């Protein structure tokens, strides 16, 4: 029963989000310019997509609400993402936003240190090992791609 209830809650939330999003993109399509004489311009397909999303979002929402009414009240456990996911997301966000400013080597090393610290169980964490592996791995990847494969990677502060 718990799983079923969770599913319905998911359907209500996701259905609502899709409906709102579809309305947003439908109105956004009116901002797309129309240059050709044909009635099928650049806004045609996005508008169809918006209508399609509105319909499927609505169906998901209705299914969620309808099934909810069929069920008795029961305690439920929301499917909370664990802290590791959120901190992983934040460290990737940091990495992505700092790569141009700090350069690949520095931001990748910092990211790896953060990510290792998040994922490695506390009892197995050894800070010197984590830092060494992060520096070694970043240098190795940089060396292979920049010198071995002539790929350009942002140099940032070290440039």
Partner 1 sequence: MVNMFVTAFSMILSAKILFLVMVGTVVGIIFGAIPGLTATMAVALCLPLTFGMGPVEGMAILLSLYIGGISGGLISAILIKIPGTPSSIATTFDGYPLAERGEAGKALGVGIVYSFLGGMVGFITLFFIAPPLAEVALRFGPYEYFSIAIFSLTLISSLSGKSLVKGLASGLIGVFCASVGPAPIDTLPRFTYGIHALEGGFNLLPALIGLFAVSEILKIAESDKSIDNVQIKSFQIKGFGFSLKEFNSQWINFIRSSLIGTGIGILPGIGSGVSNIVAYSVAKNSSKNPEKYGTGIIDGIVASESSNNATIGGALVPLLTLGIPGDTVTAMLLGGLMIHGIAPGPLLFQNNGELVYSIFALLIVANIAMLIIEYYGIKLFVRLLRIPKYYLLPAILSLCVVGAYGVNNRVFDVVTILIFGTLGYVLEKFDFPLPPIILGFILGPIAETNLRRGLMHSEGSFLPFLTSPISAGFLVLALLSALSTARKNRIRERKEKNGSL
| Binding footprint of partner 1 on the chain (CB under 8 A) | 4, 7, 10, 13-14, 18, 25, 28-29, 32-33, 35-36, 38-43, 45-46, 49, 52-53, 56-57, 59-60, 63, 79, 81-82, 84-85, 88-89, 92-93, 95-96, 99-100, 104, 108, 111-112, 115-116, 118-121, 133, 137-138, 141, 145, 149-154
What number of residues does the chain have?
Answer: 159
Q: How far is the CB of 81 from partner 1 (least distance, A)?
A: 6
Estimate to the nearest angstrom the gap between the alpha carbon of 37 and the chain centroid. 39
Q: How far is the CB of 126 from partner 1 (least distance, A)?
A: 12
Q: In whole angstroms, what is the distance from residue 43 CA to residue 25 CA?
A: 10
Q: In whole angstroms, what is the distance from residue 116 CA to residue 45 CA?
A: 44
Identify the helix (H) or strand (E) that includes residue 155. Answer: none
Q: In whole angstroms, what is the distance from residue 107 CA to residue 141 CA?
A: 13
Name the DSSP class of 1.
Answer: -
What are the angstrom distances between the C-alpha of 102 and each of 71, 83, 117? 54, 27, 21
Q: How far is the CB of 59 from partner 1 (least distance, A)?
A: 5
Residue 41 or 76: the one with the smaller Cβ distance to partner 1 is 41
Residue 75 or 80: the one with the smaller Cβ distance to partner 1 is 80
Q: How far is the CB of 75 from partner 1 (least distance, A)?
A: 20
Q: How far is the CB of 4 from partner 1 (least distance, A)?
A: 8
Q: In whole angstroms, what is the distance from residue 94 CA to residue 105 CA?
A: 14
- Residues whose CB falls within 8 Å of the CB of residue 119, separated by 6 or more in sequence, listed in order: 84, 88
């Amino acid at each position: 029963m718990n799983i079923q209830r969770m599913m319905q809650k998911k359907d209500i939330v996701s259905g609502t989000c899709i409906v709102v999003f579809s309305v947003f993109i439908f109105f956004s399509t009116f901002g797309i310019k129309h240059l050709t004489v044909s009635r099928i311009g650049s806004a045609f397909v996005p508008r169809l997509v918006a209508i399609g999303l509105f319909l499927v979002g609505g169906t998901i929402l209705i299914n969620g609400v309808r099934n909810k009414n069929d069920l008795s009240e029961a305690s439920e456990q929301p499917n909370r993402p664990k802290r590791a996911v959120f901190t992983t997301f934040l460290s990737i966000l940091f990495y992505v936003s700092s790569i141009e400013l700090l350069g690949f080597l520095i931001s990748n090393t910092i990211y790896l240190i953060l990510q290792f610290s998040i994922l490695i169980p506390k009892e197995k964490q050894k800070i010197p090992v984590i830092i060494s592996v992060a520096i070694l791995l970043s240098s190795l990847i940089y060396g292979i791609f920049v010198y071995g494969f002539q790929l350009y990677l942002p140099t940032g502060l070290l440039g």
